[in-house]
């Protein structure tokens, strides 16, 4: 029983990460209507920029770890947000009305550019953060076995849940959310009513880039490192999760993503770890096929 409770506790930080990533992706997809793996690349890129500048401040400038982490986080925000806004304005916006294949090819090119930029800056080496906030909080104990989470897990979970909650509040209660829903439903009708669909597109893409950046920073704090393989894997999972959950409702996509994180954690605990990604992707594809709705045209 204690082992099961520990696995459920372990699923909470991953569920919060998947939920926040899926929420941000759904916000961008609502206006682009194009599958875009650039989102996962920005997630990984922000984590790697954090590592580079934290190492620079901690090792080269001899700053204390909190100050080095703050500098790394600020650098990650600036670089990743600037990259996301430029990508949205200069690449994705002109291509969104074209063939979906052009967006896929452009996203692959962007991913390679970001990946190689971070790799060359790091001199092709893995950078790890020193452990911090690793003290445990005991929730329940059964003799010598204790159900625990670390402070960094709890902080990351709280912040990612706050990202989803604040984003949902903005979309449902503010004028910006109403404009986003209008452009998502019918951009031409929104234009005829005086709304700049292109401006809403850029704001939504920038908001998604901000969510990916924050998630990349928080995930790197927790895992201690970040590589583009992990970023691409997270991006592909989020893309499929959001497709199953429904792009029209970011909160629903976030809920589906959290559920998948629980399934993934349970498989890692009780199933063969080597088959985990195959099982998860197969499940996502199956759910996507089962949830697909075809409209009959007479």
pLDDT digits (tens, 9 = 90+) for 15-37: 999 999 989 999 998 888 887 88
Confidence band of 274 (pLDDT split at 50, 70, 90): confident
Which of 49-58, 91-100, 242-251 is least confident? 242-251
**Residue 296 in domain:** no
* pLDDT of 257 strictly over 90: no
| Rounded-to-integer distance, Cα 228 and Cα 44, Å | 6
Inter-helix orientation angle 2-32/151-173, to 10°: 40
* pLDDT of 296 strictly over 60: no
* pLDDT of 292 strictly over 60: no
- Residue 133: how many CB atoms within 10 A of its CB? 13
CATH of the domain at 64: 1.10.3470
> pLDDT tens digits, residue range 73-117?
999 999 999 999 999 999 998 887 777 788 888 888 898 898 888
**Residue 203 in domain:** yes
CA neighbor of 38 nearest in space, from 89, 83, 2:
83
In order of 16, 78, 147, 234, the CA distances from 238 in angstroms are 12, 24, 28, 6
Give the 3-state secondary structure of residue 136: strand
- Please list the helix, strand and coil fractions of the chain in percent, rounded to the nearest 5, in that order: 80, 5, 20
Average pLDDT over residues 163-184: 93
Counted domains in the chain: 1
Average pLDDT over residues 119-146: 86
How large a percentage of the chain has pLDDT more than 90?
A: 43
**Residue 31 in domain:** yes
Average pLDDT across the chain, whole number: 87
Average pLDDT over residues 151-158: 95
- What's residue 298's pLDDT? 36
Domain, as residue range, for 204: 2-291
Confidence band of 236 (pLDDT split at 50, 70, 90): confident
């Amino acid at each position: 029983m204690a082992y099961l409770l520990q696995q459920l506790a372990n699923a909470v930080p991953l569920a919060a990460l998947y939920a926040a990533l899926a929420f941000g992706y759904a916000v961008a997809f609502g206006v682009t209507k194009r599958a875009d793996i650039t989102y996962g690349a920005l997630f990984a890129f922000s984590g790697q920029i954090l590592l580079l500048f934290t190492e620079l401040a901690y090792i080269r400038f001899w700053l204390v770890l909190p100050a080095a982490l703050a500098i790394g986080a600020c650098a990650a925000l600036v670089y990743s947000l600037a990259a996301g806004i430029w990508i949205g304005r200069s690449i994705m916006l002109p291509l969104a009305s074209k063939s979906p294949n052009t967006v896929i090819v452009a996203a692959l090119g962007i991913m390679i550019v970001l990946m190689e930029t971070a790799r060359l800056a790091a001199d092709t080496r893995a950078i790890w953060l020193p452990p911090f906030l690793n003290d445990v909080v005991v929730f329940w104990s059964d003799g010598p076995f204790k159900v625990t989470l670390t402070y960094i897990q709890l902080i990351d979970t709280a912040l990612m849940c706050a990202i989803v909650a604040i984003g949902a509040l903005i979309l449902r209660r503010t004028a910006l959310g109403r404009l986003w829903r209008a452009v998502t439903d019918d951009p031409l009708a929104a234009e005829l009513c005086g709304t700049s669909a292109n401006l809403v597109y850029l704001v939504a893409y920038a908001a998604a880039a901000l969510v990916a950046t924050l998630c990349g920073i928080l995930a790197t704090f927790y895992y201690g490192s970040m590589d583009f393989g992990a970023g691409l894997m997270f991006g592909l999972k989020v893309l499929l999760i959001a497709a199953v959950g429904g792009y029209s409702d970011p909160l629903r996509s976030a809920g589906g993503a959290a559920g998948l994180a629980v399934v993934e954690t349970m498989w890692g605990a009780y199933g063969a770890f080597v088959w985990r990604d195959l099982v998860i992707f197969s499940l996502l594809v199956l759910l996507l096929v089962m949830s697909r709705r075809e409209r009959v045209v007479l």
